[in-house]
A = this chain, B = another copy of it.
Amino acid sequence: MKNKLFIVGIGPGESTLMAPRAVQAIESSEVVVGYQLYLDLVADLTAGKEILERPLGEETERVQAALVSTASGRDTALISSGDVGIYALATLVFEQMEAREAWRDLDVEVVPGISAMQVAAARAGAPLGHDFCAISLSDLLTPWEVIQKRVDAAAAGDFVVAFYNPVSRRRDWQLRDALDRLLAQRGGGVPVILARQLGRDEEQVRVVPLGELDVTEVDMLTVVVVGNSETRQFQGAGIGPWVYTPRGYAGKSL
Residues of B within 8 A of A152 (CB): 156-157
Residues of B within 8 A of A42 (CB): none
> A143–B17 contact, CB under 8 A?
no
List the B residue with the shortest CB-CB distance to A110.
B122
> B21–A246 contact, CB under 8 A?
no
Q: Is A239 an interface residue (CB 8 A)?
A: no
Q: How many identical chains are in the complex?
A: 2
Q: Is A34 an interface residue (CB 8 A)?
A: no
User: What is the total number of residues of chain A having a CB less than 8 Å from a CB of chain B?
Assistant: 84
Residues facing B in A89-114 (CB within 8 A) are: 90-95, 97-98, 104-108, 110-114
> B156–A149 contact, CB under 8 A?
yes
Bound: A108/B126 CA distance, A: 12
Q: Is A43 an interface residue (CB 8 A)?
A: no
> B244–A142 contact, CB under 8 A?
no
> B90–A125 contact, CB under 8 A?
yes
> B131–A133 contact, CB under 8 A?
yes
Known contacts being A86-B118, A112-B121, A247-B92, is A150 close to B131, with CB within 8 Å? Answer: yes
Residues of B within 8 A of A90 (CB): 122, 125-126, 129, 244
Residues facing B in A53-112 (CB within 8 A) are: 83, 85-88, 90-95, 97-98, 104-108, 110-112
Q: Is A24 an interface residue (CB 8 A)?
A: yes
A161 → chain B, closest Cβ, in Å?
9
